[in-house]
Amino acid sequence: ANRVTLRRKLSYNTATNQRRIVRTPGGELRYLYVKKAGSRVHCPETGQALNGIARSTGMELSRMSKTSKRVSRAYGGKLSMQAVRSRILRAFLNEENRIVKKMAAKK
């Protein structure tokens, strides 16, 4: 069991101080500090995790390209497909209802 020395001052096993042992090309064992995994983006209406959007932290999101942060659809990257579908359906039914009321008022 080879000993591995810490590369940073913090020695406690906290959430931000996670590390794993890797072997360098020079053959020595060294700690590699692991970043925290970012959370997935969720739909505010359905609560589903949005597909097609890379999980990342806020700072990583600001560095990412626009195409990796959204999907090519109306409300892509903001709402889930089910939420968009229900919005379109609701708007269509409201419009139909308005037309029917207008026709009934004419008679």
Q: What is the pLDDT of residues 20-44, one digit of tens each?
A: 999 999 999 999 999 998 999 999 9
Taking alpha carbons only, the member of 63, 7, 62 closest to residue 34 is: 7
* Burial bucket for residue 98 (CB in 10 Å: 0-12, 13-18, 19+): exposed
48 burial type by CB count under 10 A (0-12 exposed, 13-18 middle, 19+ buried): middle
What's residue 1's pLDDT?
Answer: 62
Chain segment 43-74, per-residue pLDDT in tens: 999 999 999 998 898 899 899 999 889 999 99
Q: What is the mean pLDDT of the chain?
A: 93
C-alpha closest to that of 20 among 38, 37, 35, 1: 35
* Residue type for position 56: S
State in Å, rounded, how far the first CA of the chain is from the last one: 91
- Per-residue b or e along 34-47, where b marks 16 or more CB atoms closer than 10 Å to that residue's CB: eeeeeeebebeeee
